[in-house]
Amino acid sequence: MSTMRGCGSRIVGGVYAEVKQGEGGMPVEAFLVDPPATVNPQALGLTDKGVRLIEIENVWHVFDIVGEKHYPYVADFVEEGRRMGFSRRLPENLDFTKLDPEQSRLVLLHRKAMIMNVEEAGFLHLEHLCPKGIAEHEAGQLQEMCAGLWWHDLGAKGLDADGLRELQSGAKYAAAVRPKGSAKPERALAIFMSLPITDLAVIRGRNPEENARVEKVYEKVASQSKLTVNLEDE
């Protein structure tokens, strides 16, 4: 299995917010937002490119829209992170002084995270497993969107003959083709994960010239950040 992510390799000199896996750590399901929380991107100043620092109750958080180009399905991103941890690029000129090591979160959104019409789209009585174990999300009781439906909302071309979806890294996960309802799914941008930021990473260069530039970026970020800042390979 390769270390290639859906969004490609990390960029030399790039700054990344990381959520690393650790022994005894919580499962990825603990960080899912279920049901997903819809937002007004204009009101929050969110765009599909870049991130935005947003203050909530005196704590600053990194809001980041995960792009459909690299992650057409929400489950792709979740399953990649389950295997590789999470790493999202931040702009070099971000105000890193605002990030609190104990409280700041990486808040992730996707434009397919919320299915607004679960009944009309055929999801209401679908046999599925709620990843958060919410009793009201079991089949026959579902009255709202459940995060478990992300694994049942794939196109037929996205799966192999065994019902497996292959990620860019070569890893595979089990999923299902979306059901046929009386209407097409109506999707909306929504928060689907909220993760603690374990550290920041600056990506090393491949030669002395690149490393000289990387060192300047590292020093700048490290001088501002209360989070641990590491130099890492791509």
Q: What is the pLDDT of residues 53-93, one digit of tens each?
A: 999 999 999 999 999 999 999 999 999 999 999 999 999 99
Q: Which residue has the tokens 């996707």?
A: 110
Examine the pLDDT at 34 and tell me if it is beyond 70. yes
Residue 81 falls inside a structural domain: yes
Tell me the C-alpha distance between 145 and 32, whole Å: 13
Share of the chain above pLDDT 70, in %: 99
Tell me the C-alpha distance between 215 and 227, whole Å: 17
Q: What is the number of structural domains in the chain?
A: 1
pLDDT of residue 112: 97
DSSP 27: P
10 forms beta bridges with: none
pTM of the model: 0.94
pLDDT of residue 21: 81
Examine the pLDDT at 117 and tell me if it is beyond 80. yes
Structure tokens at 167: 């990620």
Tell me, rounded to whole angstroms, the distance of Cα 150 from its chain centroid. 13
Q: Where are the alpha helices (DSSP H) in the chain?
A: 41-44, 74-84, 208-224
Tell me the C-alpha distance between 5 and 24, whole Å: 24
Residue 7 falls inside a structural domain: no
Residue 233, number of CB atoms within 10 A of its CB:
10
Please give the average per-residue pLDDT across 5-26, as a whole number: 87
Residue 2 falls inside a structural domain: no
Examine the pLDDT at 23 and tell me if it is beyond 90. no
| pLDDT (tens digit per residue) in 179-222 | 998 899 999 999 999 999 999 999 999 999 999 999 999 999 99
| pLDDT (tens digit per residue) in 120-158 | 999 988 888 899 999 888 877 788 899 999 999 999 899
pLDDT of residue 5: 85
Residue 19 falls inside a structural domain: yes
pLDDT of residue 161: 92
Residue 233 falls inside a structural domain: no
| C-beta of residue 172 within 8 angstroms of C-beta of residue 164 | yes
The torsion angles phi and psi of 168, rounded to 5 degrees, stand at: -60, -30
Examine the pLDDT at 2 and tell me if it is beyond 60. no
pLDDT of residue 1: 52
The range of the structural domain enclosing residue 185 comes to: 15-228
Residue 10 falls inside a structural domain: no
Residue 213 falls inside a structural domain: yes
Residue 59 falls inside a structural domain: yes
